């Protein structure tokens, strides 16, 4: 019997096309129904499972041990697909007998109506692609063994309605060469041929990925557990984690509802409970996740669909659909999501977690589905399921070792693509446990990218309304979130807003991207808060503003807010802090008081864990300046290597100081008017630091550098003096043409000067030899540093990739699409590398790309790269399918200026010409 609309509840808009002919008619005749057919009350009520209806446990024991062992090496919390994948990877390495998988309910207790099972390998970044490819490889292997996974290779068809979406597809197609992903740009007609069900009247093209497919997460989960059980894995069902116990900053044991397990490693794979599990330790481990309602629409059987029906993603409509056992399964990512469990309490029992479907909320996605597949209006509906999914604040996965507790690992926040991620993420976590590092660079997904502010429940509740829609949004450059803003602000934020700042956000900090006085105030004359946008892939609307700011930094005085940079003080009573930094850093930090040392902190393979500047304030006191995104990460890296007994103190002072950078040829003259300190090159040379009085303020740490290669200073000002110093600088600078400058101008300056930044150009796999910074590595230090042996070996064998600068020719910045990073580089017509960061060079008057090139043998094997190899090739950069010729540079170029300065020109960020001949030349083993 068809229930009345009032009984159903919130369906007035979602089913506004329903016309009930007779509520008393048991045949339930319906006209103009989006999906015709009989509807049951259970379609709208929480799904009530029957025995075995939601489990794929053939071949598994009906009951596992309810009592975990008293000790183990690894305890995994969460018996879903992610926990099963981690356990499987550990079992494959011989750790099965030492691993315990704890699940509060039953293993793989997923509802069969609550998954999409989409398996795609083309992700936003190379690291995510590698993880997804590993997952697909594992699924295919299990399928080949005859284990149930639900795997079907259907291919996926991504549709575009707009020119910008097609540009995005062409960019993805270009990147796919580097990522070893087979894909093809297809016409609307080809889209129709691949999926006859769709309407293509508004489709302008598509991207076809033939090797994608679908699977069944429940079946995959149980197959993983099945193989792990055979290798000794212990599984404890109906067992809850109550507390994670640490001792001396390391995991010690896990207290469960069935007893305490002593262990060495703990892995939090608790899905959308991961945040709550993170709070079961002291200190808390921040796992910033919040659940949002997510919908799956299931039809009844449709004759003729076939197993080869592709996964279709109509990204501009924010929907997807696929074949599922002869039916259509559809879903989507609405632009404004609906948070689930807003009070922060997630019900324990499966029945209590069931959420009513909100037809009003789902209605926009339903409309888009019917627009793309009009014939579905005649198809019978099975049900609409509402399944909460957990999202991180930046819509990325959360992986890695927690900065708060050593040997506490997290794998969570996989959104709705857990099956695509599980195999790769499971391998990465197992790598970290068994060998101490992942074979895939994980810095962009690392849990240490978050601060405590990101774990605030109200922040997460607001952010989760915005995040799911990003899954299918156009990936324009420099994306900015609109929620969680005005959170971290320097004391000069109001003055910057008054001056016309348009803001970007990093680590919760508001920093100016550029300045524009036009339309900067509302009707009442109050300054408006404006968020930076770049809604296109060509010349951006902020071009002229950034150009003007750039010219001021080069020829007059520019002022920029550097407050977001990570600032950490390290000190000790004796020389312990010097010894620690000598061990952590590849440069020699034992320099005279007042020196600034640029240095890397490396892992055992020589890759950059941190790239920073150290200002030696006194004999045993340093101030470290590191990238903004390193605030939690670099502090955790240091703390993991601290000597015992608290002999070295480490303090994050990021929020204690406002940092103002002044740069340009007149900065020394202007600052001299505000301080009694002698600023002459002899008294205060380049690359040194002093404590200054400025105006009426004191205790200001002044560093004679700018991080962009321009002449100038960075002033680290105690917050209470910040507004005073800012005002004095602006007043004194008027006669020198001072103006505010934003982050985008700073980016252009450093790209033109060939400066590499960690997290953008450098990562945990990049070494100083590869990026031209070997002259900062001091092998003859008395203390051996982390990574020294690996760098010595690389120096002997030669590098297999090299960091270069490319100037793009025959490119019209007004008409052609721009390079935004990630574009493939071709040498003599063959792929050889990718760009990292890019910008328009206002001095060069052309696009500039930084990136890495390789010397690839036709078989794909990497050969040593030398200077001669780099300089002897003809280069092209492919931007959205079009290749542009480019000139390669190995050294920081000398840029012409009206006011040349010997200090400014003497500093090179990349490769010292005097030393490089001994460092970059390939020397085969003798």
DSSP state for residue 877 in the 8-state scheme: E
23 belongs to a structural domain: no
Q: Do residue 305 and residue 158 come from a single domain?
A: yes
Q: Do residue 302 and residue 448 come from a single domain?
A: no
Which single residue is written with the structure tokens 């348009």? 502
Measured in whole angstroms, the distance separating CA 362 from the mean position of its chain's CA atoms is 28
Q: What is the largest CA-CA distance in the chain?
A: 97
Quick one: pLDDT at residue 23? 27
- Residue ranges of alpha helices (H) inside 231-349 are 274-278
Q: Do residue 158 and residue 200 come from a single domain?
A: yes
CB 280 within 8 A of CB 242: yes
CB 150 within 8 A of CB 188: no
Structural element, H or E, at residue 926: none
Q: What is the DSSP string of 24-54?
A: T-TT--EES-SS-S---GGGTSPP---TTTT
Angstrom distance (rounded) from CA 192 to CA 65: 52
Q: Do residue 225 and residue 278 come from a single domain?
A: yes
Strand partners, 160: 205
104 belongs to a structural domain: yes
Closest listed residue to residue 584, CA positions, set 612, 559, 565: 612
What CATH code is carried by the domain that includes residue 309? 3.30.9.10
Coarse DSSP helix, strand, coil percentages of the chain, rounded to the nearest 5 percent:
25, 25, 45
DSSP state for residue 779 in the 8-state scheme: T
Q: Which two tokens stand for residue 190?
A: 């080809």
The predicted model scores a pTM of 0.91
Which single residue is written with the structure tokens 């936003």? 124
Angstrom distance (rounded) from CA 589 to CA 427: 37
- 822-837 pLDDT tens trace: 999 999 999 999 999 9
Q: Do residue 905 and residue 798 come from a single domain?
A: yes
767 belongs to a structural domain: no
Q: Do residue 165 and residue 263 come from a single domain?
A: no
Angstrom distance (rounded) from CA 124 to CA 805: 24
- 430-466 pLDDT tens trace: 999 999 999 999 999 999 999 999 999 999 999 999 9
Which single residue is written with the structure tokens 């393979």? 605
Quick one: pLDDT at residue 180? 93
Report how many domains make up the chain: 5
Q: Do residue 206 and residue 227 come from a single domain?
A: no
Angstrom distance (rounded) from CA 540 to CA 187: 28
Q: Do residue 407 and residue 271 come from a single domain?
A: yes
pLDDT along the chain (926 residues), means of 10: 29 33 27 38 32 41 71 96 97 97 86 83 94 96 95 97 98 94 97 97 98 94 94 94 96 97 97 94 96 95 89 97 95 95 78 85 96 94 92 96 97 88 96 96 96 96 96 94 97 97 97 95 93 97 98 96 98 97 98 97 97 97 97 96 94 98 96 97 94 97 92 97 98 98 97 94 96 94 96 96 97 97 96 97 96 91 94 97 97 80 67 51 41
DSSP state for residue 619 in the 8-state scheme: T
Last residue of a domain, one of 442, 457, 472: 457
Write out the residue range of the structural domain in which residue 799 sits. Answer: 791-918
What CATH code is carried by the domain that includes residue 241? 3.50.50.60
What CATH code is carried by the domain that includes residue 859? 2.40.30.110
**Strand 621-626 vs strand 566-572: parallel, antiparallel, or unpaired?**
antiparallel
Q: For residue 776, which phi and psi values (nearest 5 degrees)?
A: -90, -5
Burial class (CB in 10 A: 0-12, 13-18, 19+), 729: buried
863 belongs to a structural domain: yes
Q: Do residue 838 and residue 889 come from a single domain?
A: yes
**Angle formed at CA 306 by CA 304 and CA 308, multiple of 5 degrees:** 145
CB 295 within 8 A of CB 390: no
Which single residue is written with the structure tokens 């079961």? 280
Q: Do residue 430 and residue 318 come from a single domain?
A: no
Q: Do residue 514 and residue 606 come from a single domain?
A: no
Which single residue is written with the structure tokens 């300046």? 625
Last residue of a domain, one of 725, 760, 790: 790
12 belongs to a structural domain: no
What are the residues whose beta carbons fall under 8 Å from the beta carbon of 598, sequence distance 6 or more? Answer: 587, 612, 613, 776
Closest listed residue to residue 639, CA positions, set 284, 399, 402: 402
Angstrom distance (rounded) from CA 337 to CA 538: 30
Quick one: pLDDT at residue 907? 66
Last residue of a domain, one of 766, 790, 814: 790
Which single residue is written with the structure tokens 């900015």? 480
Quick one: pLDDT at residue 908? 67
Angstrom distance (rounded) from CA 418 to CA 228: 19
Quick one: pLDDT at residue 917? 46
526 belongs to a structural domain: yes
Return the half-sphere exposure (C-beta side, CA atoms, 13 A cut-off) of residue 895: 23
190 belongs to a structural domain: yes
Q: Do residue 351 and residue 442 come from a single domain?
A: no
Coil, strand or helix at 789: helix
562 belongs to a structural domain: no
């Amino acid at each position: 019997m068809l229930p009345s609309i009032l009984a159903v509840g919130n369906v007035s808009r979602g089913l506004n096309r329903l016309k009930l002919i007779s509520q008393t008619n048991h045949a339930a005749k319906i006209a103009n129904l989006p999906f015709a057919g009989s509807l049951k009350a259970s379609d709208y009520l929480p799904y009530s499972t029957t025995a075995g209806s939601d489990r794929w446990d053939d071949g598994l024991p009906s009951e596992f041990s309810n009592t975990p062992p008293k000790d183990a090496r690894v305890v995994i919390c969460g018996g879903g697909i992610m926990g099963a994948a981690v356990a499987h990877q550990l079992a494959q390495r011989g750790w099965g007998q030492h691993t315990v998988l704890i699940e509060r309910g039953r293993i793989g207790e997923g509802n069969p109506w609550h998954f999409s099972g989409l398996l795609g390998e083309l992700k936003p970044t190379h690291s995510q692609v590698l993880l997804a490819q590993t997952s697909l490889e594992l699924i295919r292997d299990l399928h080949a063994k005859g284990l149930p996974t639900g795997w079907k290779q259907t291919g996926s068809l991504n549709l575009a309605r707009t020119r910008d979406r097609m540009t995005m597809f062409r960019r993805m197609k270009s990147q796919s060469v580097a990522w070893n992903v087979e894909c093809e740009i297809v016409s609307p007609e080809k889209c129709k041929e691949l999926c006859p069900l769709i309407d293509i009247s508004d489709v302008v093209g598509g991207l076809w990925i033939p090797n994608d497919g679908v699977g069944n997460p429940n079946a995959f989960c149980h197959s993983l557990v099945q193989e792990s059980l055979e290798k000794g894995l212990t599984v404890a069902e109906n067992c809850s984690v109550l507390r994670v116990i640490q001792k001396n900053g390391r995991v010690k044991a896990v207290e469960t509802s069935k007893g305490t397990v002593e262990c060495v490693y703990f892995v939090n794979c608790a899905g959308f409970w991961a945040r709550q599990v993170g709070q079961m330790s002291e200190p808390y481990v921040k796992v910033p996740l919040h659940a949002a309602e997510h919908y799956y629409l299931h039809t009844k059987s449709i004759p003729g669909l076939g197993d080869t029906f592709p996964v279709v993603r109509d990204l501009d409509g924010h929907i997807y659909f696929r074949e599922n056992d002869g039916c259509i399964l559809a879903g989507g990512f609405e632009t404004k999501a609906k948070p689930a469990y807003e009070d922060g309490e997630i019900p324990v029992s499966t029945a209590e977690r069931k959420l009513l479907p909100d037809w009003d909320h789902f209605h926009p996605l339903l409309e888009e589905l019917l627009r793309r597949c009009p014939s579905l209006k005649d198809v019978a509906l099975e049900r609409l399921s509402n399944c909460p999914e957990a999202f991180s604040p930046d819509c990325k996965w959360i992986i890695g070792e927690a900065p708060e507790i050593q040997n506490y690992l997290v794998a969570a926040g996989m959104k709705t693509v857990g099956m695509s991620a599980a195999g790769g993420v499971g391998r990465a976590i197992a790598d970290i446990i068994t060998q101490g590092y992942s074979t895939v660079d994980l810095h962009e997904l690392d849990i240490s990218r978050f601060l405590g502010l990101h774990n605030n429940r109200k922040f997460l509740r607001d952010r989760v309304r915005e995040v799911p829609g990003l899954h299918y949004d156009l990936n324009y450059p420099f994306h900015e979130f609109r929620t969680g803003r005005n959170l971290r602000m320097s004391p000069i934020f109001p003055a910057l807003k008054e001056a016309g700042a348009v803001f970007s956000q990093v680590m919760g900090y508001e920093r100016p991207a550029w300045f524009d006085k036009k339309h900067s105030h509302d009707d009442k004359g109050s300054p408006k808060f404006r968020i930076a946008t770049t809604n296109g892939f060509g010349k951006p609307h902020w071009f002229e503003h950034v150009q003007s700011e750039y010219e001021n930094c080069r020829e007059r005085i520019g002022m920029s807010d550097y407050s977001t940079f990570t600032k950490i003080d390290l000190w000790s009573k004796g020389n312990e802090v010097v010894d620690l930094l000598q061990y952590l850093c590849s440069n020699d930090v034992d320099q005279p008081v007042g020196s600034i040392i640029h240095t890397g902190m490396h892992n055992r393979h020589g890759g950059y864990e941190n790239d920073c500047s150290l200002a030696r304030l006194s004999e045993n006191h340093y101030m470290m300046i590191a990238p903004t995104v390193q605030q939690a990460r670099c502090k955790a890296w240091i703390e993991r290597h601290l000597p015992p007994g608290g002999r070295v103190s480490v303090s994050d002072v990021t929020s204690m100081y406002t940092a103002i950078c002044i740069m340009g040829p007149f900065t020394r003259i202007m600052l001299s008017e505000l301080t009694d300190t002698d600023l002459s090159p002899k008294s205060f040379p380049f690359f040194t630091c002093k404590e200054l009085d400025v105006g009426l303020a004191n205790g200001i740490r002044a560093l004679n550098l700018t991080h962009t290669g321009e002449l100038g200073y960075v002033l680290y000002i105690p917050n209470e003096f910040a507004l005073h110093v800012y005002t004095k600088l602006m007043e004194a600078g008027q006669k020198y043409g001072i103006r505010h400058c934003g982050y985008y101008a700073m980016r252009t300056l450093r790209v033109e000067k060939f400066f590499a930044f960690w997290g953008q150009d450098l990562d945990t796999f990049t070494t100083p030899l590869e990026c031209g910074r070997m002259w900062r590595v001091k092998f003859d230090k008395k203390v051996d540093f982390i990574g020294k042996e690996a760098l010595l070996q690389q120096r002997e064998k030669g590098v297999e990739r090299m960091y270069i600068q490319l100037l793009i020719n025959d490119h019209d910045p007004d008409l052609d699409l721009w390079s935004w990073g990630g574009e493939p580089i071709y040498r003599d017509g063959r792929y050889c590398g990718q760009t990292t960061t890019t910008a328009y060079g206002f001095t060069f008057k052309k696009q500039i790309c930084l990136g890495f090139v390789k010397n690839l043998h036709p078989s794909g094997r990497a050969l040593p790269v030398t200077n001669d190899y780099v300089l002897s090739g003809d280069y092209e950069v492919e931007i959205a399918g079009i290749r542009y010729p480019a000139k390669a540079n190995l050294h920081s170029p000398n840029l012409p200026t009206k006011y040349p300065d010997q200090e400014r020109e003497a500093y090179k960020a990349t490769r010292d010409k005097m030393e490089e001949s001994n460092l970059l030349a390939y020397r085969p083993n003798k």
